[in-house]
Amino acid sequence: MSNIKNKKILLGITGGIAGYKSAELCRLLIKQQAEVRVCMTQSATEFISPLTLQALSTKPVHTDLFDHEAEAAMGHIELAKWADIIIIAPATANTIAKIAHGFADNLLTTIILASHAKLYIAPAMNQNMWQQPQTQQNIQQLASLNIKTLGPAHGIQACGDTGMGRMLEAREIIAELAKNTPQTLLTNTTILITAGPTQEALDPVRYLSNRSSGKMGYAIAKAALQMGAKVRLISGPVNLPEPIGVETIKIQSAQQLLTSCQQYAGDSDIFIATAAVADFRPIVQSQQKIKKQDDRDKLTIELTKNPDILATISHDFPHLFTLGFAAETEQLITSAKKKLKSKKLDMIAANQVGDNLGFEKNDNAIELIWHDGQISLPMMDKQNLAFKLLSLLAKHYRNCNAAY
Ligand code: PMT
């Protein structure tokens, strides 16, 4: 599914020869199933007819702040509120300067000032105009206002110069928009994710743990957020920054992980367990540092079983859609399938580990298994893998919920 499907996009066109590319952009946006409305400055209408854009968008084109008829149909404030995304293509040096300094002297700049939509500009101008420090400062000002500049490209210009200033091609603009627009497959879901290792204390300075870096779980948390979910991440000790926009809860031991999961599972919809939980913990946690003691060559530490967090949560909170990870050094699929059943999960990601695989690495590969199917997600960057995994999970989650 395209990221811009169903998005309400206002296409702003300003006066430049690249205006002819805006017609193609309008057509491609509609092909992506975006809802498109067009606003043109007066000078844009000198380069391309509003009628062309009206025919392509099948909606009246907005050109005039003081057009009573157009304002009565959809006023500029309504249009500003309507848009999810505003893309100005082409954006002239003049309009860029106006936006950078908050001018609102025509319909387009007024809408921009009145809107909270994500704003993109695709500059198009002569290479000298682009290089001028005034323009470059304006572009920097836009970046500081969280306005994204797409392009320009280098090449031969309409005036005969060669250099930076050509507007990106319509398909390139679409690709940039899609890349920067969050996927919404997980909108209206709350996802609880566990990540990283647990540390099981032996004494105040020593613990039992494992090699999990948290990279897989954190990548899933970031992807879930971008895909529209509300995300809570319960994390063991890792050296990763807390993902912005994700509520991150830090724990150390398996027992703390369980308590935290129990606290948040009730108001979650999906539970994803990537954490590498210690299966056992020392029965005794010495209050003091265990001494070496020269008279002994051996130290025996007795361990007791930790709770199985995933199995407990899936049992106690049956409303949750559950995805476990099975880290295996042998019999990958058979063992993962056993865990899928014994822990009563909806899905499991069979993860080959050992031999420099899985743990700590930036790349990973999994076999995603559910009760009547499975699919291989080959070796790739953990962030990419997270997006692919969640797209598949979202499909199953929606199917599962549609059944009720
Ligand atoms: O963190 P990285 O360095 O990026 O590495 C990622 C990873 C390899 C740790 C991750 O991809 C992974 O495979 N995580 C699962 C690790 C694991 O503990 O697997 P397991 O087969 O032992 O456990 C199966 C499932 O039960 C897991 O979802 C685990 O979180 C859960 N479990 C296990 C034991 C336990 N006591 N409680 C649990 O909830």
d(CA 228, ligand 1 centre) in Å = 25
Chain segment 358-372, per-residue pLDDT in tens = 999 999 999 999 999
Same structural domain, 174 and 227 = no
Same structural domain, 237 and 304: yes
Question: pLDDT at position 400, please?
Answer: 81
Query: Looking at residue 140, which CATH number applies to its domain?
Result: 3.40.50.1950
Residue nearest to atom 10 of ligand 1 (CA): 274
Q: Is 193 exposed, middle or buried (0-12, 13-18, 19+ CB in 10 A)?
A: buried
- What would the DSSP string read from start to end of 207-219? EE-----SHHHHH
Range(s) of the domain holding residue 337: 190-281+299-402
DSSP single-letter state for residue 236:
-
Which of 161, 180, 199 is at the close of a domain? 180
Counting ligand 1 atoms within 8 A of each CB, the residue from 280, 281, 310 with the most, and so the one to mutate, is 310
Residue whose CA is at the smallest distance from ligand 1 atom 17: 276
Question: What's the mean per-residue pLDDT of the chain?
Answer: 94
In a domain, 113, yes or no: yes
| Count of domains forming the chain | 2
Q: How confident is the model at residue 404 (pLDDT cuts 50, 70, 90)?
A: very low
| Residue 342, domain member (yes or no) | yes
Give the pLDDT confidence of 85-137 residue by residue, as tens digits: 999 999 999 999 999 999 999 999 999 999 999 999 999 999 999 999 999 99
Residue that finishes a domain, picked among 180, 211, 241: 180
- Tell me, yes or no, whether 111 and 194 share the same domain: no
Tell me which residues are annotated as active site. 159
In a domain, 222, yes or no: yes
Task: Write out the H or E segment, with its range, that includes residue 130.
Answer: helix 127-131
Distance (Å, whole) CA 276 – CA 327: 8
Confidence check: pLDDT of 27 > 90: yes
Same domain membership, residue 266 and residue 211: yes
Q: Taking the CB of residue 404, how many other CB atoms lie within 10 A of it?
A: 4
Inside any domain, residue 198: yes
Q: Is residue 120 part of a domain?
A: yes
> Which residue is closest in CA terms to ligand 1's atom 23?
326
| pLDDT attached to residue 293 | 85
Q: Are residues 104 and 227 in the same domain?
A: no
Single-letter code of the amino acid located at 306: N
Nearest ligand 1 atom to the CA of 210 is 9
CATH of the domain at 258: 3.40.50.10300
Based on the domain organization, do 79 and 136 belong to the same domain?
yes
Domain shared by 229 and 211, yes or no: yes
Residue-wise DSSP of 283-328:
S---SSPPP--TT-S-----EEEPP-HHHHHHHH-TTSEEEEEEEE
Q: Would residue 286 count as lying in a domain?
A: no
Q: Are 304 and 338 in contact (CB under 8 A)?
A: no
Protein residues with CB under 6 Å of any ligand 1 atom = 194, 196, 212-216, 254, 273-277, 279, 306, 308-310, 324-327, 339, 351, 353, 358-360
Burial class, 295, CB count within 10 angstroms (exposed 0-12 / middle 13-18 / buried 19+): exposed
Could you say which of 130, 146, 180 is where a domain stops? 180
Residue whose CA lies nearest to ligand 1 atom number 36: 308
pLDDT tens-digit map of 37-92: 999 999 999 999 999 999 999 999 999 887 776 676 667 888 999 999 999 999 99
Please tell me whether residues 21 and 135 are part of one structural domain.
yes
Measured in angstroms, how far is the CA atom of residue 402 from the centroid of ligand 1? 29
Beta bridge partners of 16: none
Q: Whose CA is nearest to atom 37 of ligand 1?
A: 308
Would residue 294 count as lying in a domain? no
The alpha carbon of 217 and the centre of ligand 1 are apart by a number of angstroms equal to 10
d(CA 291, CA 355): 34
Same domain, 176 and 195: no
The pLDDT value given to residue 77:
87
Alpha carbon distance 384, 364 (integer Å): 10
Q: What is the DSSP letter of 205?
A: T
Q: How far is the CA of 223 from the centre of ligand 1 (A)?
A: 19
Residues 238 and 172 reside in one and the same domain: no
Confidence bin at 2 (pLDDT 50/70/90): low
Q: What is the pLDDT of residues 192-234, one digit of tens each?
A: 999 999 999 999 999 999 999 999 999 999 999 988 899 999 9
Give how far the C-alpha of residue 371 lies from the chain's centroid of Cα atoms, to the nearest Å: 28
Let me know if residue 93 belongs to a domain: yes
* pLDDT tens-digit series, residues 175-200: 999 888 877 789 889 999 999 999 99
Tell me, yes or no, whether 219 and 246 share the same domain: yes
Q: What is the pLDDT of residues 239-250, one digit of tens each?
A: 999 988 899 999
Which ligand 1 atom sits nearest the alpha carbon of residue 310?
39
* Ligand 1 atom with least separation from CA of 324: 28
Report the pLDDT value the prediction gives residue 231, as an integer from 0 to 100.
96
Q: Are residues 276 and 391 in the same domain?
A: yes
